[in-house]
Amino acid sequence: MEIESRLPAWQVAGLGTIAFVVLLWVLEAVDAAMGHDLDQYGIQPRSDEGLLGILFAPVLHGGWSHLEGNTGPVLVLLFVTLATGLARGLLATAVIWVVGGLGVWLVAGSNSVHLGASGLVFGWIVYLGVRGIVNKEPWEILVGVVVLIVYGTVLLGVLPGQPGVSWQGHLFGAIGGAVAAAVLSNDRLAGARRVLGRR
C-alpha cells in the first residue's frame, strides 16, 4: 500500500510562510550584531551597487520595530497568497519582488537606501484584491474583499508622507501586485499551457 507523503497545500503554505519570517528575524539579529552593516545592501537608487538591493532589500529591515511592524502582515498575507495557489503565489511574489525593487531603483531619490518587506506586503494586498476581478472567480473575489477590508487602509502608504518611510517601495510593490494579478491570470496561464503543450 502506497502512503501519501505530500502535505496539504495549506500546510506547505504555512511552513513556507513561517520559514520566511524566521529568515527575516535571523537576518535582523545578524544585522544588529554587525552594527547594522547589512542595511547597506538595501536598494540604492540608480547605483550599480544598489541593484543588489533589488534582491536583498525585502529581507532586510531598519531595526526591530521596523521588522515587528511587518511581521504580522507578512504572516497573514504571504500565507493567504500561497494557500490559495502555491505555485502561482510564489510566482506572484517573485513578480512583486522584482517590479517593486526595479521601480524603487529607477524612481526613488538619490542618496537614499530602501529596505524592508513592506513592498511585498503592499504587493500581496493588491494581488489578492485584484486577482478575483481579473479571473472572475467568486471565491477569489471573496478573499480579495476580506483582505481589502482588513488591510485596505494600509494602501494609503503609497502616498508621500511620513519621513523615513519608503512610499516608493509601497507604491511599486502595489504596482507589482497588480502586474502579478494580470500576468498570472487564469486566461494567460491557460494560454501558456496550450502553447507549451504543442511543443
pTM for the whole structure? 0.92
- Residue 114 has φ and ψ, to the nearest 5°, of -115, 130
Total structural domains within the chain:
1
- The answer to the question of residue 14 being in a domain is yes
Mean pLDDT for the chain overall: 91
For the stretch 37-48, pLDDT in tens is: 999 999 999 998
Q: What is the CATH number of the domain that holds 74?
A: 1.20.1540.10
- What is the secondary structure of 114-167 as a DSSP string? B--THHHHHHHHHHHHHHHHHHT-HHHHHHHHHHHHHHGGGGGGGSS-STT--H
Range of the domain at 179: 9-197
For the stretch 160-178, pLDDT in tens is: 877 778 899 999 999 999 9
pLDDT (tens, 9 = 90+) of the chain, 199 residues, equals 343 448 888 999 999 999 999 999 999 999 999 999 999 999 999 998 889 999 999 999 999 999 999 999 999 999 999 998 999 999 999 999 999 999 999 999 888 999 999 999 999 999 999 999 999 999 999 999 999 999 999 888 888 877 778 899 999 999 999 999 999 998 887 776 666 665 5
- The answer to the question of residue 168 being in a domain is yes
- The answer to the question of residue 35 being in a domain is yes
- The answer to the question of residue 103 being in a domain is yes
- The answer to the question of residue 3 being in a domain is no
- The answer to the question of residue 120 being in a domain is yes
- The answer to the question of residue 102 being in a domain is yes
